Structures are given as structure tokens and as C-alpha cells.
Amino acid sequence: MWNTLYRIAISIMLAGTLSCCIKNDIPFAKVPLSITGIEVEGQSGSAVISESESTVTVTLQETVNPKKVMLKTFTYTEKASSTLTAGTEIDLSQPYEVTLSLYQDYKWEIIGNQPIARRMIIDRQLGNSEFDVENHLATASIRKSADLKDIVLSDLKLGPEGALNDGVSGTPEVQWTFYRDFAQASVHVTFSDFVDETWTLRVYKSDKDVVTESADGWVNVAWLYGAGVAETECGFDIREDGSEDWTRVDQKYVTMDGGQFTARVPHLKANTTYECRAYSGDQVGDVVTFSTTETGSVPNMGFEDWHQEEKVICPWAQDGTRFWDTGNHGSTTLSEKDNITLSTEDIRPGSTGKLAAVLKSQKIVVKFAAGNLFIGEYKETKGTNGVLGFGRSFTSYPTRLKGYFKYQTALITEAIDKYASLKNQPDTCIVWVALGDWELQENPNSGEKTAVEVQTDDKGTGKYFDKNDSHIIAYGEMTCGENVNEYTPFSVELEYRATNRKPTALLIVCSASKYGDYFTGAPGATMWVDDFSLEYDYDD
């Protein structure tokens, strides 16, 4: 009896010991999780979702209390759980952290952006007022011929629309205190139950009536910035370095914003040094020197160079420069018949070349593949998903991409859940261009350097290009969702977000199916492209 009990006890102890030693080597699936949609009460425009930064930026109307924002709708990756749900009141006066969970946790931030259109206008002001929101300080300058003791405050708005200044709506009567170099006053600003601030107004006397602030030279274009007196004609003079004669910039190129003014000057020479100066009335500012730069080089813009590596058709010459690439590396896993982007002798009329590119969307076995062509490198295939590197080294300043295309659309039959609403709608082709200041990353397997990595995923939860990426300097796109039976010229204007940032990379992407990187589109949708070119000037 005791021997039996002893054996049972030993068996239980051994079982417990062995169970502690058993290691679970089966890894949990790694599923990237994303916020896919959000709307709050008092929102202005659409939310900006950045997959790369794991942030969602929501712009709030001026009159919304940022500490009490009601979440109307909130969506995220299917099957994930979230620490935040719709119907919750959140504080967006600072970034709000959200955790999405499915096997792993992913941290996201919701950022509230609440621009306030502030203004302070002084009679005989030079340039525009500046606002230090953190320190509640508004500053302005008056022209050198004006007297600080004659300051007239003609307009003031420091808070949300409808805020009170010293208890009154509109411009209050303020008491100025005079110092040697400036005059100062204070204003108490209130609005609803969340704005209660005391602002300092400070007005300086300038030693000038006009200032040449800066100049940014591109290739055939320069951007000139100045400050002057709003009630007078303001603009710029320009000349080549070494010339004696100034040329006045046509007023049609000048944009006024109060006392600030900007000129976009076209038709300049590349690789040339210029001088410019601002003027306001009969006064001129100091001379600023700047230089234009040279055009950039993009090989195979006519799509003449092709060769085949085993099963894959590649858009560059044998032993040539690998600048463009396609998704053919992934689509031909089973057969060389599945190349989705090919050369074609169907060229645009008037072309001096012999070949163009044709991009064919199709279903390959069980997955949809969009015909595509892009600057960059197809890095690898993971399972049935692709890893791509978009962009190549580029340091110039194009103003537009031009080219020729034609398109045959079809009804969308393939769509992931995120884009299920697009089914039975005509497919849309796209050409988009981005210029940015990314740090190029080298692929250790190939030695190729590209700017932005994209990882496709049939759940829509991969890593995608974000046109709101902070690295983007300029962006533009062309889309078409109808049949275009003959080659037609197109032009994509690059919308610059800054004129003084230095580019490092250029991205151009063409796809016969706009949402092809989400495995969504129409088998049979086909796009032809030919004779691309970059321009560096603006029309009049």
C-alpha cells in the first residue's frame, strides 16, 4: 500500500518537473496593427494616418476644447483589441497613446493639431507679426520713419474665433508702456471654459523699411522672400552676379501676405549665381546672393532598355544601370508567363524610340498582382508578399513630370476587406511622384540603395508609402479610371511643401491598379506608358 502511494507521489512530482522543462517553441504570429480610421467632434478635414510613425494627426476647429474631445468613430486592424473605443472623451492637448494588441502590442499616438489664425496689425507695420504661443508673446515691427509713440493697433485676434480681448469682442483699447527700443502692452484673452491667457504685445521700431529675407535657388526657378510695408508696392529686383543692371521681377510672380511677400521667379539659367534685393515703395533692401543648380539624371525614361534574367523581365539594359524595377520578381515565382510588366512596340505616335512599357494587372494562382513600374528595387518575396525599396538618389528640383499613357480599365473583382466597397467599380491607374530628404538605405544582399521600404500584405497591415511622410518635400499624382484608347499626354505638377529643403531621393511609381499594393484591383486592367520627362521651370 505504502509502496503504491510512494510510486504515485514520485510520478506526480516527475510529471510536474518535466512540464516545467517543456519549452513552447511555437512563435506567435507577428501581425502589424494599425489605426485605419478616426473622426472626432469638431474635426476639420480628414485625419492623417502615418504608418511609418504610428501616429494619427487630427486637426481640430478653433473653438473645440482640446482637453475634451469626443471620439465619434475609431477603427483599427480587424481582430485586434484596443485600449480606446468610440464614444470616449479624450485629451488631445498632448499626444494620446493607444495600444493595439494581437499577439503583440503596438503603440500608436493620436495627435491633436489646432491651428489658430492669430493676427496683430499695426498701422505702418513692416512685415507680418510673429506669435510665440508657448510664451504668449506677439511681436511686430514698424517702419523706421514711424514713431513708437504713435502706435495704432488696428486689428487683434489671439484666441479662437469669438474670443474676448480684455472682455471685449474685437480690438481692445490697450495701454502701451514705452521703452528705448520697443513699446509693450498686455491683453487678457478668454474663450469658453478653456482659454484664459494673458498675452504680451510688443512693437519694435525697425531700422529699415524693407528687408530681403532669403532666396532659394532651384534649377530654372528661384523663390525670393522679403518684408516691407503692406500699403506700398513690394517686390524684388534680380540680376546675374557680375551684372551692373537690375531687372525688376514682374508683379505677376509676386504674392503678398500683409507685409510679407514672396516671388516665384521662373526662366532662370541653371548653374548660375544671381543677386536679388527686395523693395517696398522707393526703398530697397540688402542684396542677397544665391545660385541655381543643375538638372537631375533619370535613366531609361523612354523605357527603351529591357533584358531578361531567368524568368524575370527587367526594365534596364543587360549590364546597364538598375534604376527602375517592377513586381515581376514576385509574380514570376511559378512561371515566366506571369511577368506583369513588359516592353511593347506599341509606342506613342511621334516617339523617337522603339519601345514603351505595358503594365497588366492579373490574378496569379490565388493572388491579385497589379502591373507596376517604379524607381527603386524589388528586394525580395516573403511568402506571397513583396518587399520593395522605392526611390533612388536624386538632388535636383523638378517642377513636373510629363509623359504619355493610355489605359484599359475593368471592373474590380479582387479586394481585401479594407477595400471591399470598391468591388464592381472601374479600376483606376495611377502615376505618382515624390521628392524627399530620406536617408538612403543599402540592401545588404544587393548593394542597391533606396529611400522608402514597402512591405505588401494581403490583410492591408503591411508597411506602405505614406504621402504625408514628413520627409516628403514635394508630391504629385495623376489618376484615371476610364478607358483611354489612344496615347494621351499627362502632366503631374509637383506641389512643394518647402522651398529651402535639400532633396536626396526621387520616387516615381506607375500602377495599372491604384490599390494594387493592397492586392485590390481588376484583372485585365492595363496601362501603357512612354516617354517620361522631368521639367524644371514654370509656365507664365
pLDDT at residue 366 in the model: 81
Residue 10 lies in a domain: no
- Mean pLDDT in residue range 112-135: 94
Q: Which residues contact 132 (CB under 8 A, 6 or more apart)?
A: 138, 139
Q: Which residues contact 168 (CB under 8 A, 6 or more apart)?
A: none
Q: Are residues 416 and 511 in the same domain?
A: yes
> What is the Rg, in whole angstroms, of the alpha carbon atoms belonging to the chain?
30
Whether this model's pTM surpasses 0.95: no
Phi, psi of 118 (to 5 degrees): -85, 150
pLDDT grade for 28, boundaries at 50, 70 and 90: low
pLDDT grade for 18, boundaries at 50, 70 and 90: very low
Q: Are residues 346 and 284 in the same domain?
A: no
Question: What is the tens place of the pLDDT at every residue in 66-115?
Answer: 999 999 999 998 889 999 999 999 999 999 999 999 989 999 999 999 99
Residue 12 lies in a domain: no
Residue 100 lies in a domain: yes
Q: Are residues 160 and 270 in the same domain?
A: no
pLDDT grade for 43, boundaries at 50, 70 and 90: very high
- Which residue has 506571369 as its cell numbers? 338
pLDDT at residue 36 in the model: 84
List the domain range (segments joined by +) for residue 172.
119-205
Q: Contact, 325 vs 374, CB < 8 A?
A: yes
Within 10 Å of residue 435's Cβ, how many Cβ atoms? 27
Q: What is the DSSP string of 296-308?
A: ---TTTT----EE
Q: Contact, 141 vs 126, CB < 8 A?
A: yes
Q: Which domain CATH number covers 256? A: 2.60.40.1200
Print the SS3 string covering 100-142. Answer: EEECEEEEEEEEEECCCCCEEEECCEEEEEEEECCCCEEEEEE
Residue 296 lies in a domain: no
Question: What is the tens place of the pLDDT at every residue in 475-485?
Answer: 999 999 999 99
Residue 9 lies in a domain: no
User: At which of 291, 324, 355 does a domain end?
Assistant: 291
Q: Which residues contact 358 (CB under 8 A, 6 or more apart)?
A: 341, 342, 343, 344, 346, 371, 526, 527, 528
Q: Which domain CATH number covers 76? A: 2.60.40.2340
Residue 133 lies in a domain: yes
Q: Are residues 330 and 443 in the same domain?
A: yes
Q: Does position 470 have pLDDT exceeding 90, yes or no? A: no
- Which residue has 476639420 as its cell numbers? 44
Q: Are residues 356 and 498 in the same domain?
A: yes
Residue 16 lies in a domain: no
Residue 24 lies in a domain: no
Q: Are residues 63 and 94 in the same domain?
A: yes
Q: Are residues 158 and 218 in the same domain?
A: no
Q: Does position 164 have pLDDT exceeding 90, yes or no? A: yes
Q: Are residues 319 and 448 in the same domain?
A: yes
- Mean pLDDT in residue range 114-129: 93
Q: Are residues 99 and 170 in the same domain?
A: no
- Which residue has 536617408 as its cell numbers? 439
Q: Which domain CATH number covers 413? A: 2.60.120.890
User: At which of 94, 113, 132 does a domain end?
Assistant: 113
Question: What is the tens place of the pLDDT at every residue in 272-329?
Answer: 999 999 999 999 999 999 999 999 999 999 999 999 999 999 999 999 989 999 999 9
pLDDT at residue 31 in the model: 66
User: At which of 92, 113, 134 does a domain end?
Assistant: 113
Q: Distance between terminal CA atoms of the chain?
A: 106
Q: How many domains does the chain have?
A: 4
Q: Are residues 135 and 256 in the same domain?
A: no
Q: Are residues 459 and 384 in the same domain?
A: yes
% of the chain residues with pLDDT over 90:
81
Q: Are residues 414 and 456 in the same domain?
A: yes
d(CA 392, CA 161): 46
